[in-house]
Amino acid sequence: MGLNADPILPRVKEILGDAVLDSHAQAGDETVVVSRDRWLDAHRTLREHPELGFDFLMDLTAVDRLGEDVRFEVVTHLYASKTRRRLRLKARVPENDPAIASLCPIWKGANWLEREAWDMFGVRFLEHPDLRRILMYEEFVGHPLRKDYPFDKRQPLIPERDPIEQGWKPS
């Protein structure tokens, strides 16, 4: 991203081979879209490849593309400390089976990031050791960052009381 002028995409595509479905670059960020069943594989290759060496899983999140054929996008941002390069990986996950391989076998940090993505978007991470909600509470129904979750819906654990019904009057 930005620093080194030469794009890294051709080399990444060569190394990942047929796992890559699509790739693009915008605003200095390079992105590869990989197939869902090669998700774990692709990350492992990128991390362990001596030349690329993407040793940091900087971020993992999802994007809800409501209305598109394959609804969810799982997005990771990788960083290689040796070459100071960044790379974005994406995979599409359908609504009827929102599941993808967990990256926990490669990075310990994936644990919490995937729990958050599950909590917020309802994307399941297969073989995740501890897939619980993290920001919301256990009793919460639904996944709040989905586009079809109303932003003003309330699910209080303790019923809310209307002060006016309780006899409060503005002074």
Tell me whether residue 15 or residue 145 sits nearer to other proteins (CB atom).
145
Binding mask 2-31 for other proteins (x = CB under 8 A): xx----------------------xxxx-x
Distance in Å from the first CA to the final CA of the chain:
58
CB 113 within 8 A of CB 36: no
**Does residue 45 interact with other proteins by CB under 8 A?**
no
CA-nearest of 115, 90, 104, 92 to 32 is 90
User: How many chain residues are in contact with other proteins, going by CB under 8 A?
Assistant: 44
Binds other proteins by CB under 8 A, chosen from 9, 21, 40, 134: 134
Of 11-19, 35-43, 100-108, 162-170, the segment contacting other proteins by CB under 8 A is 100-108
User: How many other C-beta atoms lie within 10 A of the C-beta of residue 39?
Assistant: 23
User: Per CB under 8 A, does 126 bind other proteins?
Assistant: no
Choices 5-13, 32-40, 102-110, 155-163; region in contact with other proteins by CB under 8 A = 102-110
Bridge partners of 150, per DSSP, are none
Nearest to 89 by CA among 124, 61, 123: 61
Tabulate helix, strand, coil % of the chain (nearest 5): 20, 25, 50
Provide the token pair at 108. Answer: 């310990």
Contacting residues toward other proteins, per CB under 8 A: 1-3, 26-29, 31, 47-48, 55-59, 61, 63-64, 75, 77, 81, 84, 86, 88, 104-109, 111-113, 116, 120, 133-137, 144-145, 149, 151
